[in-house]
Amino acid sequence: MFKKIMVAYFICSFISTVSYASSIQIHDSGKNIAENQANLKKQDHYPSKVTKITDTALNLVGVPYKWGGTTNKGFDCSGLVWYVFDKNAIKLPRTADIQYKAGKAIAQSNLQQGDLVFFTTYEPGASHSGIYLGQGKFIHASSSRGVMVSNLTDSYWKIRYFGARRIV
């Protein structure tokens, strides 16, 4: 019985090894290398567009707030969103109220990393924007603390939540 189990184990191991190896074959020709890179991207060996967006944003934590700011010397909320997406080759409108019209509306319960989140702050409607990071957190440019990460359940943000949009 033990011998049959060991034979079955080795056969299964061999089949999975052959299957894995055939999925990542390396060839010398440029065409096959390009195909392999495309296959690796499909297998999540490269950062996704969404991960690049959130990484870009997180690298800006601590940049000061500046009304109308769109550079890493100072951002307002929508300037931060615009800058991060622009650095990742995605064009967005410049202001929060117009950004709110881009993409697809998403329920708060369906938020995913990279979605835009909007709040009603100094005027009715979408007047503040940020980028959702996952696990209830979002990154934004706060007028009091600059680029920072906050939680959607913080009392200030919870009552001001306006909606979300999916761009990527």
Q: Which residues are catalytic?
A: 77, 128, 140
CB contact at 8 A, 126 and 162: yes
CB contact at 8 A, 103 and 111: no
Instruction: Please state the three-class secondary structure of 51-119 as a single string.
Output: HHHHHHHHCCCCCCECCCCEECCEECHHHHHHHHHHHCCCCCCCCHHHHCCCCEEECHHHCCCCCEEEE
Three-state DSSP at 141 gives strand
What is the C-alpha separation between 129 and 144, in angstroms, rounded? 15
